[in-house]
Amino acid sequence: MNTSTLRRAIVPGVAALALAASLAACGSSDDSADSAASDGSSGAAAGGSLSGTVAGGGSSAQEKAQESWRAGFGQANSGVTMTYDSVGSGTGRSNFISGAYKYAGSDSAMTSDEITQATKACGGDPVEFPVFISPIDVAFNLKGVSSLNLDAKTVAQIFKGDIKTWDDPAIKALNPDAKLPSTAISPVHRSDSSGTTDNFTDYLHQAAPSVWTSDHSSDWPTTSGESAEGTSGVVGAVQGGNGTIGYIDDSGVEGTKLGVAKIKVGDSFVAPSADGAAAGLAASQLVSGTPATVMEYKINRTSTDPSTYPVFMASYEIACQSYGDANTGAVVKAFLTYITSADGQKAAAANAYSAPLPTDVASKEAAIIAKIGS
């Protein structure tokens, strides 16, 4: 068979294949969730009466937690598909206001302007409350040093660039027994807009206002020091050098061999922990002047209670009380109920290493969720 005969045989065959493929692509519909999730386990309450696809998005810090919530919620409600885009808190909120997302995850609470806009978009007061509490570690990579004590002022000076070497007297004073080399300090910050940055700078501003004069912001305020994209970027950057230090969400530090600094609270040095973060939220006050369905916290980072760890982030979930169609409302209500339930919080804790919501906070939230009409 020479090439031209082969050619003549192939062309119609390839054409038929291409046609079939395109027909398949255009014709088939979405596979539903249960047809693929068949590990043969846990037939617990599969089915449910809810159905549809609901889109949400926002904070990328919540990504892993959202993944586990989708898993748990999807197990119980196999007809529903939830989606979550990690586009960042700011875009999440603005897309919620524009109607592209039915719910949003945000590392910082909505401003009063945004609440007004959301009220207009929802046709009523929006719903907002914290769902994800995660400690932020001050992680470092320094040869020969595995533990470190730091206080707010020193941390602020390090990240500002005022303290340049590891054997600086300020660090030595807090760690009299450690052998600190004279290596230069390389602080690493986030290059992208981030809730982790927002909460970390809030801590520095509240706890060390004389050194860190700029207010909290999601974009790192100085141009000096290394920057990296995303939590994983900062982890890689800190791991990749000697003498590096960065602020990293606790979930990113799990499994790495980075050292984690203990922060001075009152008179003792406290290591980051989920319980410490939860205690930190409990010690904070609600912001007043917001609608009844909006629970925003002004986090108190200057507490001297050693059971609290002040460097943490509380990430919020935002939704409407009513939607255009009843089904969306029912799905969102069920989803939020699951997220704030003990099971949902356990899932987030197991997979994203977050702190479960304190029970009084959770019950207040349940009351708000109940108001979501259909």
Partner 1 sequence: MSITTKPESAERQDVAGPPAVGRLGDRLFSASALTAGVIIMVTLGAVFVFLAVEGIDGFHADRSVFEPAAGNFWAYAGKLLFGTTLAAVLAMIIAVPFAIGLALFISHYAPRRLAVPVAYLIDLLAAVPSVVYGLWGARTLASAAQPIQTWLGEHLGWFPLFSGQVSATGRTMLVAAVVLAIMIVPITTAICREVFQQTPRLLEEAALGLGATRWEMIRMAVFPHARSGMVAGVMLGLGRALGETMAVAMVLSASPLVTLKVLTSDNPATIASNIAANYNSEDNRIQTVLIATGLVLFVFTFLVNFAARLIVARAERKLA
Partner 2 sequence: MTTADLTGEARSLPLQRLRLPRYAALMVAVAAVVVATLTGLLLGWGPVPTVIVAVVLADIALPLWSRLVEGRRPAVDRLITALVWTALACALTPLAWLLITTLDSGIPAVSGHFLTHNMVQQLDPVTFKTMPGSGVVHALLGTLLVTFGAAVISVPVGLMTSVYLVEYGRGRWIARVITLLVDVMTGIPSIVAGLFALALFNVFFGVGTRMGIMGSIALSLLMIPTVVRSAEEMMRLVPNDLREASYALGVPKWRTILKVVLPTSIGGIVTGVMLAISRVIGETAPLLVAVGSIDVTNTNLFSGRMQTLPVFIMTEYKTSTPEGYRLAWGGALLLIVIVMVLNLAARIIGKIFAPSAKR
Q: Using CB under 8 A as the criterion, which residues of the chain lie in contact with partner 1 when the complex forms?
A: 87-91, 94, 108, 184, 186, 188, 191-193, 198, 217-219, 221-229, 233, 236-237, 239-244
As a whole number of angstroms, the distance between CA 358 and CA 368 comes to: 16
Which partner, partner 2, partner 1, none, binds residue 3 by CB below 5 to 8 Å per kind? partner 2
Q: State the nearest-atom distance from the C-beta of 15 to partner 2, in Å.
A: 13
Task: Closer to partner 2 by CB, 44 or 176: give it.
Answer: 44
Separation of CA 56 from chain center:
14
Task: Closer to partner 1 by CB, 46 or 87: give it.
Answer: 87
Which partner, partner 2, partner 1, none, binds residue 70 by CB below 5 to 8 Å per kind? partner 2
Of 348, 124, 149, give the one whose Cα is nearest residue 265: 149
Which partner, partner 1, partner 2, none, binds residue 191 by CB below 5 to 8 Å per kind? partner 1
In this chain, which of 242, 346, 359, 363 binds partner 2, going by CB under 8 A?
346
Is residue 82 within 8 Å of 335, Cβ to Cβ? yes
In this chain, which of 1, 12, 13, 44 binds partner 2, going by CB under 8 A?
44
Q: State the nearest-atom distance from the C-beta of 363 to partner 1, in Å.
A: 30
Which partner, partner 1, partner 2, none, binds residue 227 by CB below 5 to 8 Å per kind? partner 1
Q: Does 72 bind partner 2 (CB under 8 A)?
A: yes
Q: Does 32 bind partner 2 (CB under 8 A)?
A: yes
Q: State the nearest-atom distance from the C-beta of 275 to partner 1, in Å.
A: 29
Which partner, partner 1, partner 2, none, binds residue 241 by CB below 5 to 8 Å per kind? partner 1
Q: Does 219 bind partner 2 (CB under 8 A)?
A: no
Q: Where are the beta strands (DSSP E) in 61-208?
A: 80-85, 103-106, 126-141, 148-150, 186-190
As a whole number of angstroms, the distance between CA 374 and CA 208 comes to: 47
Of 165, 142, 144, give the one whose Cα is nearest residue 154: 165
In this chain, which of 77, 85, 205, 336 binds partner 2, going by CB under 8 A?
85
Neighbours of 184 (CB within 10 A): 12
To the nearest 10°, the Cα dihedral for 11, 17, 22, 27? 140
Is residue 38 within 8 Å of 85, Cβ to Cβ? no
Separation of CA 181 from chain center:
35
Question: 238-267: which residues touch partner 2 (CB under 8 A)?
Answer: 249, 251-252, 254-255
Contacts 24+ apart (CB under 8 A), 207-213: 207/152, 207/153, 207/156, 207/301, 207/302, 207/310, 208/152, 208/153, 208/155, 208/156, 210/153, 211/153, 211/156, 211/157, 211/160, 211/162, 212/156, 212/160
Site residues, partner 2 (CB under 8 A): 3, 6-7, 10, 21-22, 24-33, 36-37, 39, 41-42, 44, 53, 55, 60, 63-64, 67-68, 70-72, 74-75, 81, 83-86, 95, 98-101, 230-232, 235, 249, 251-252, 254-255, 343, 346-347, 349-352
